[in-house]
Structure 1
Protein backbone atom coordinates (compact mmCIF):
# COMPACT_ATOMS: atom_id res chain seq x y z
CA UNK A 1 0.00 0.00 0.00
CA UNK A 2 3.00 2.34 0.48
CA UNK A 3 3.36 2.96 -3.30
CA UNK A 4 -0.36 3.53 -3.77
CA UNK A 5 -2.29 6.79 -3.97
CA UNK A 6 -4.76 5.29 -1.51
CA UNK A 7 -3.95 5.69 2.15
CA UNK A 8 -6.04 2.64 3.06
CA UNK A 9 -8.18 -0.09 1.54
CA UNK A 10 -11.24 1.87 2.63
CA UNK A 11 -9.98 5.00 0.83
CA UNK A 12 -9.26 2.96 -2.30
CA UNK A 13 -12.79 1.48 -2.31
CA UNK A 14 -14.39 4.89 -1.79
CA UNK A 15 -12.41 6.56 -4.55
CA UNK A 16 -12.82 3.78 -7.11
CA UNK A 17 -16.58 3.87 -6.51
CA UNK A 18 -16.71 7.49 -7.71
CA UNK A 19 -18.25 7.81 -11.16
CA UNK A 20 -16.42 9.70 -13.89
CA UNK A 21 -19.49 10.09 -16.06
CA UNK A 22 -23.26 10.02 -15.74
CA UNK A 23 -23.05 11.53 -12.28
CA UNK A 24 -26.17 12.72 -10.50
CA UNK A 25 -25.52 16.41 -11.27
CA UNK A 26 -24.90 15.61 -14.96
CA UNK A 27 -28.08 13.56 -15.23
CA UNK A 28 -30.15 16.28 -13.54
CA UNK A 29 -28.90 18.95 -15.95
CA UNK A 30 -29.29 16.69 -18.99
CA UNK A 31 -32.88 15.90 -18.00
CA UNK A 32 -33.72 19.61 -17.78
CA UNK A 33 -32.07 20.31 -21.13
CA UNK A 34 -33.99 17.48 -22.76
CA UNK A 35 -37.27 18.79 -21.27
CA UNK A 36 -36.48 22.14 -22.87
CA UNK A 37 -36.15 20.50 -26.28
CA UNK A 38 -32.37 20.66 -26.52
CA UNK A 39 -30.58 17.68 -28.01
CA UNK A 40 -26.96 16.93 -27.30
CA UNK A 41 -24.30 14.23 -27.19
CA UNK A 42 -22.71 13.02 -23.98
CA UNK A 43 -19.13 12.17 -23.07
CA UNK A 44 -17.69 13.16 -26.40
CA UNK A 45 -14.46 14.74 -27.57
CA UNK A 46 -15.58 18.05 -29.09
CA UNK A 47 -12.43 18.06 -31.22
CA UNK A 48 -11.33 14.54 -32.06
CA UNK A 49 -7.63 15.46 -32.10
CA UNK A 50 -7.81 16.90 -28.56
CA UNK A 51 -7.88 14.13 -25.96
CA UNK A 52 -10.44 15.80 -23.73
CA UNK A 53 -14.01 14.66 -23.24
CA UNK A 54 -16.84 17.05 -22.43
CA UNK A 55 -19.84 15.94 -20.39
CA UNK A 56 -22.46 17.52 -22.69
CA UNK A 57 -21.73 18.52 -26.28
CA UNK A 58 -23.84 20.44 -28.76
CA UNK A 59 -21.86 19.50 -31.87
CA UNK A 60 -23.77 21.60 -34.38
CA UNK A 61 -23.51 24.74 -32.26
CA UNK A 62 -20.01 24.01 -30.98
CA UNK A 63 -20.84 24.29 -27.29
CA UNK A 64 -18.97 22.04 -24.83
CA UNK A 65 -20.18 21.71 -21.24
CA UNK A 66 -18.21 20.38 -18.28
CA UNK A 67 -19.79 19.69 -14.91
CA UNK A 68 -16.82 19.43 -12.59
CA UNK A 69 -16.74 17.53 -9.33
CA UNK A 70 -15.80 19.66 -6.34
CA UNK A 71 -13.16 17.24 -5.10
CA UNK A 72 -11.49 16.25 -8.35
CA UNK A 73 -11.34 19.74 -9.81
CA UNK A 74 -10.57 21.64 -6.61
CA UNK A 75 -13.72 23.71 -6.06
CA UNK A 76 -12.76 26.93 -4.25
CA UNK A 77 -15.89 26.64 -2.06
CA UNK A 78 -15.91 22.96 -1.13
CA UNK A 79 -12.55 21.36 -1.79
CA UNK A 80 -10.68 20.24 1.31
CA UNK A 81 -7.22 18.77 0.83
CA UNK A 82 -7.11 15.26 2.27
CA UNK A 83 -4.83 14.96 5.29
CA UNK A 84 -3.86 11.43 4.35
CA UNK A 85 -1.45 11.19 1.43
CA UNK A 86 -1.39 14.97 0.84
CA UNK A 87 1.90 14.63 -1.06
CA UNK A 88 -0.05 12.73 -3.71
CA UNK A 89 -3.28 14.74 -3.71
CA UNK A 90 -1.90 18.28 -3.82
CA UNK A 91 -0.07 17.88 -7.17
CA UNK A 92 -2.89 15.66 -8.52
CA UNK A 93 -5.56 18.32 -7.96
CA UNK A 94 -3.20 21.05 -9.25
CA UNK A 95 -2.68 19.04 -12.48
CA UNK A 96 -6.43 18.61 -12.86
CA UNK A 97 -6.94 22.37 -12.53
CA UNK A 98 -4.17 23.06 -15.05
CA UNK A 99 -5.66 20.55 -17.48
CA UNK A 100 -9.07 22.23 -17.16
CA UNK A 101 -7.56 25.61 -18.09
CA UNK A 102 -5.64 24.05 -20.98
CA UNK A 103 -8.77 22.26 -22.22
CA UNK A 104 -10.71 25.51 -22.22
CA UNK A 105 -7.93 27.27 -24.15
CA UNK A 106 -7.63 24.50 -26.75
CA UNK A 107 -11.37 24.27 -27.36
CA UNK A 108 -11.85 28.03 -27.56
CA UNK A 109 -8.96 28.26 -30.03
CA UNK A 110 -10.81 25.66 -32.12
CA UNK A 111 -13.93 27.84 -32.16
CA UNK A 112 -15.92 26.24 -29.35
CA UNK A 113 -17.89 27.88 -26.56
CA UNK A 114 -16.80 26.24 -23.31
CA UNK A 115 -19.03 26.24 -20.24
CA UNK A 116 -17.90 24.96 -16.85
CA UNK A 117 -20.08 24.39 -13.83
CA UNK A 118 -19.52 22.87 -10.39
CA UNK A 119 -21.46 19.81 -9.30
CA UNK A 120 -22.96 21.79 -6.40
CA UNK A 121 -24.58 24.41 -8.63
CA UNK A 122 -28.36 24.38 -8.94
CA UNK A 123 -29.27 22.22 -11.99
CA UNK A 124 -32.05 24.62 -13.04
CA UNK A 125 -29.62 27.56 -13.20
CA UNK A 126 -27.01 25.48 -14.98
CA UNK A 127 -29.56 24.34 -17.58
CA UNK A 128 -30.72 27.94 -18.09
CA UNK A 129 -27.14 29.12 -18.68
CA UNK A 130 -26.49 26.28 -21.12
CA UNK A 131 -29.75 26.95 -22.96
CA UNK A 132 -28.81 30.62 -23.30
CA UNK A 133 -25.38 29.79 -24.71
CA UNK A 134 -26.82 27.29 -27.20
CA UNK A 135 -29.52 29.72 -28.34
CA UNK A 136 -26.88 32.47 -28.76
CA UNK A 137 -24.72 30.10 -30.79
CA UNK A 138 -27.71 29.29 -33.00
CA UNK A 139 -28.28 32.97 -33.70
CA UNK A 140 -24.63 33.73 -34.43
CA UNK A 141 -23.94 30.45 -36.23
Structure 2
Protein backbone atom coordinates (compact mmCIF):
# COMPACT_ATOMS: atom_id res chain seq x y z
CA UNK A 1 0.00 0.00 0.00
CA UNK A 2 1.34 3.44 -0.99
CA UNK A 3 1.62 5.70 2.02
CA UNK A 4 0.22 9.21 1.58
CA UNK A 5 2.68 12.11 1.58
CA UNK A 6 1.29 13.52 4.82
CA UNK A 7 1.62 10.15 6.54
CA UNK A 8 5.25 9.88 5.40
CA UNK A 9 5.86 13.33 6.93
CA UNK A 10 4.28 12.27 10.23
CA UNK A 11 6.33 9.07 10.37
CA UNK A 12 9.55 10.91 9.49
CA UNK A 13 8.82 13.49 12.19
CA UNK A 14 8.18 10.78 14.78
CA UNK A 15 11.50 9.13 13.83
CA UNK A 16 13.44 12.40 14.19
CA UNK A 17 11.75 13.37 17.46
CA UNK A 18 12.39 9.92 18.87
CA UNK A 19 16.08 10.24 17.97
CA UNK A 20 16.25 13.69 19.61
CA UNK A 21 14.33 13.05 22.80
CA UNK A 22 13.64 9.31 23.03
CA UNK A 23 9.97 10.06 23.73
CA UNK A 24 7.27 11.30 21.33
CA UNK A 25 3.80 12.63 22.16
CA UNK A 26 1.12 14.08 19.90
CA UNK A 27 1.86 17.58 21.18
CA UNK A 28 5.52 17.17 20.15
CA UNK A 29 4.46 16.28 16.61
CA UNK A 30 1.98 19.18 16.51
CA UNK A 31 4.70 21.59 17.62
CA UNK A 32 7.28 20.25 15.17
CA UNK A 33 4.92 20.40 12.18
CA UNK A 34 2.90 23.46 13.18
CA UNK A 35 -0.42 21.57 13.06
CA UNK A 36 -3.29 21.55 15.53
CA UNK A 37 -3.46 18.83 18.17
CA UNK A 38 -6.83 17.55 16.81
CA UNK A 39 -5.29 17.16 13.32
CA UNK A 40 -2.40 15.20 14.80
CA UNK A 41 -4.79 13.08 16.86
CA UNK A 42 -6.73 12.10 13.73
CA UNK A 43 -3.53 11.30 11.85
CA UNK A 44 -2.21 9.17 14.73
CA UNK A 45 -5.47 7.16 14.74
CA UNK A 46 -5.00 6.44 11.02
CA UNK A 47 -1.34 5.51 11.49
CA UNK A 48 -2.22 3.22 14.39
CA UNK A 49 -5.07 1.51 12.52
CA UNK A 50 -2.72 0.88 9.56
CA UNK A 51 -0.02 -0.61 11.80
CA UNK A 52 2.57 2.17 11.52
CA UNK A 53 2.62 3.24 15.19
CA UNK A 54 1.74 2.00 18.65
CA UNK A 55 0.29 4.25 21.32
CA UNK A 56 1.70 3.46 24.73
CA UNK A 57 0.87 4.52 28.27
CA UNK A 58 0.91 8.24 28.99
CA UNK A 59 0.47 9.09 25.30
CA UNK A 60 3.86 7.92 24.10
CA UNK A 61 3.98 7.16 20.38
CA UNK A 62 6.34 4.49 19.04
CA UNK A 63 6.99 3.46 15.47
CA UNK A 64 6.31 -0.16 14.62
CA UNK A 65 8.80 -1.95 12.36
CA UNK A 66 6.51 -1.13 9.43
CA UNK A 67 6.38 2.54 10.45
CA UNK A 68 10.12 2.71 11.07
CA UNK A 69 10.78 1.29 7.61
CA UNK A 70 8.67 3.98 5.93
CA UNK A 71 10.12 6.74 8.14
CA UNK A 72 13.72 5.71 7.51
CA UNK A 73 13.14 5.46 3.76
CA UNK A 74 11.58 8.91 3.68
CA UNK A 75 14.38 10.38 5.78
CA UNK A 76 17.04 8.77 3.58
CA UNK A 77 15.44 10.27 0.46
CA UNK A 78 15.31 13.65 2.19
CA UNK A 79 19.00 13.52 3.12
CA UNK A 80 20.25 12.34 -0.28
CA UNK A 81 18.14 14.82 -2.25
CA UNK A 82 19.10 17.77 -0.04
CA UNK A 83 22.81 16.83 -0.29
CA UNK A 84 22.63 16.73 -4.07
CA UNK A 85 20.77 20.03 -4.27
CA UNK A 86 23.32 21.71 -1.99
CA UNK A 87 26.06 20.19 -4.18
CA UNK A 88 24.46 22.05 -7.09
CA UNK A 89 24.89 25.28 -5.12
CA UNK A 90 21.34 25.55 -3.78
CA UNK A 91 21.17 27.20 -0.34
CA UNK A 92 20.73 24.82 2.58
CA UNK A 93 17.33 26.28 3.48
CA UNK A 94 15.97 25.93 -0.06
CA UNK A 95 17.53 22.49 -0.53
CA UNK A 96 15.86 21.19 2.64
CA UNK A 97 12.48 22.66 1.67
CA UNK A 98 12.66 21.29 -1.87
CA UNK A 99 13.87 17.88 -0.68
CA UNK A 100 10.82 17.69 1.59
CA UNK A 101 8.56 17.95 -1.46
CA UNK A 102 10.64 15.87 -3.88
CA UNK A 103 11.12 12.96 -1.44
CA UNK A 104 7.47 11.96 -1.84
CA UNK A 105 7.27 11.83 -5.62
CA UNK A 106 10.66 10.64 -6.78
CA UNK A 107 10.79 7.22 -8.44
CA UNK A 108 12.91 4.44 -6.94
CA UNK A 109 14.99 4.33 -10.11
CA UNK A 110 15.83 8.04 -9.93
CA UNK A 111 16.53 7.86 -6.21
CA UNK A 112 18.88 4.89 -6.64
CA UNK A 113 20.64 6.83 -9.40
CA UNK A 114 21.06 9.79 -7.05
CA UNK A 115 22.55 7.56 -4.35
CA UNK A 116 25.01 6.10 -6.88
CA UNK A 117 25.89 9.63 -8.03
CA UNK A 118 26.71 10.61 -4.43
CA UNK A 119 28.84 7.49 -3.96
CA UNK A 120 30.85 8.21 -7.09
CA UNK A 121 31.08 11.96 -6.40
CA UNK A 122 31.72 12.24 -2.64
CA UNK A 123 32.60 15.92 -2.88
CA UNK A 124 28.90 16.63 -3.54
CA UNK A 125 27.86 15.21 -0.16
CA UNK A 126 30.11 17.42 1.93
CA UNK A 127 28.79 20.85 0.93
TM-score range for the pair, normalised by the shorter chain length: under 0.3
Structure with greater proportional helix content: 2
Q: TM-score of the superposition, structure 1-length normalised?
A: 0.24
